[in-house]
Amino acid sequence: MKIVIVGAGEVGFHIASRLSLENKDVMVVDTSDEALKRVSETLDVQVMKGSGSSPEVLIDAGVKKADILLAVTDSDETNLVACLTCDIISPATKKLARIRLGDYDAYHEHFRANAPHIDTIINPEIEVVKTIYRLMRVPGAVDVGEFEGGRVKIVGMRLEEGSPLAGLRLSELSSRLGGVRPLIAAIVRKGELIVPHGNDTLQLGDLVYFISESTKLNEVLRFFNRRMKPVNRVLIVGGGLIGARLADLLESKNIHTKIIEKNPERCRYLAERMNRAVVLCGDGSDQSLLLEENIKDMDFVVSLTDDEETNILVSLLARSVGADNTITKISRFSYMPLMASIGVEQVVSPRLSAINSILQHIRKGKVLSAMSVHGEQAEVIEAVALQTSELVDTPIRKVSFPRGALLICIIRDDEVIIPSGESVIKPDDRVIIFATREAVPRIEKMLTVKLEFF
């Protein structure tokens, strides 16, 4: 697979990093010497200086032989023109573009059906708002992914004092807990990701990733001393693109919302635009203002300013004055491993949301969705089992899954199956597979149709 990436910023860099580790043929195009230097010195990919919207640059980058063009610069206009240029010189190349501005929202379908014929439009702000709302709906969750239209969830939850799971071997879960119990897909312990086996023991402080049907999630949460509860009041600090989109969503769900925004002009715009949300002009990192607004009564405090240090400070302040749940927007990937150590667990990243959206479209096989786990250490992949792939018509115990991969769910028609060694995948079943970064290429191969099928 050959992929041309236009834009060597954080999204372009991390997608290129992921693909280079999977031995894909990657070319990164950017106008910045500094950005290209970072890519060329760190990754095993090719780089080219130039504008991705230039026909000559795209031709020299090999777009005519490329399977995919990813346009992920910080400029919507550059991304649109890059796709338009590609559509003219290489119409067979699949095009993915990052488009952020809300002004373009109404035209996404037009961009797909007409020139530049963009196959997939990724809006990081929309994706991160969805991520925030998923976290709000599962109390205490550090990470939440949804599959099969929300029927199946994978949840990352910290194992705390008092949980009946602490000290149990995985092989004991069935006999000790019975009935509805969590299927453990992965454990993160002291920063290390573990794909568990029956002899592994759950320990206090573990970040446990488990799979559950949405209808049974409340029963599973009791093992983590949590229960589902409605979200009624939310405070948003930062009224930018993401803050405004989140407020729109919360208003549509009849959730009482307050927005604190520092810029007076932006405050006036938000006050005119919002129907019921209360807009306050002030500094969200001002402790007296947070106390004034009865932050203890808020179900969630969401920090969404453009300054990540401010977002971290707001979340720490909110926790110190009694807020139970905080969600913090972080852009720099290098900050993410540090967050848990300072007590900021629920973190969202527009860039990581964009990467998750992109992944499903660059995976081989009929992949429906993909989600990064614990930064970029692993993926959860939802895919359709094709007729002659290695996975079908063989008991799971006889399928040679690579080390670091685990089949965690089979969905057949309306039935959700938690698999055992004797389970058999049928053609057109949906499967959900957890895989470490090293195991992903082999899983991709298993999801594709064998050559003799043709």
The tens digit of pLDDT for each residue in 39-86 reads: 999 999 999 999 999 999 999 999 999 999 999 999 999 999 999 999
pLDDT band at 22 (very low <50, low <70, confident <90, very high): confident
More confident position, 453 or 20:
20
Q: Is the pLDDT of residue 408 over 70?
A: yes
Q: Is the pLDDT of residue 20 over 90?
A: no
**Cα separation of 108 and 105, whole Å?**
6
Of 52, 44, 41, the C-alpha closest to 26 is 44
Average pLDDT over residues 317-321: 91
pLDDT for res 452: 36
The tens digit of pLDDT for each residue in 121-138 reads: 999 899 999 999 999 999
Average pLDDT over residues 347-370: 84
DSSP 235-265: EEE--SHHHHHHHHHHHHTT-EEEEEES-HH
* Low-confidence winner among 14-18, 102-106, 437-441, 447-451 (lowest mean pLDDT): 447-451
The tens digit of pLDDT for each residue in 260-314 reads: 999 999 999 999 999 999 999 999 999 899 899 899 899 999 999 999 999 999 9
pLDDT for res 234: 97
The tens digit of pLDDT for each residue in 164-211 reads: 899 999 988 878 777 777 789 999 998 889 988 888 999 999 999 999
pLDDT for res 426: 94
Mean pLDDT estimate for the chain: 91
Cα angle: 439, vertex 443, 445; to 5 degrees? 125
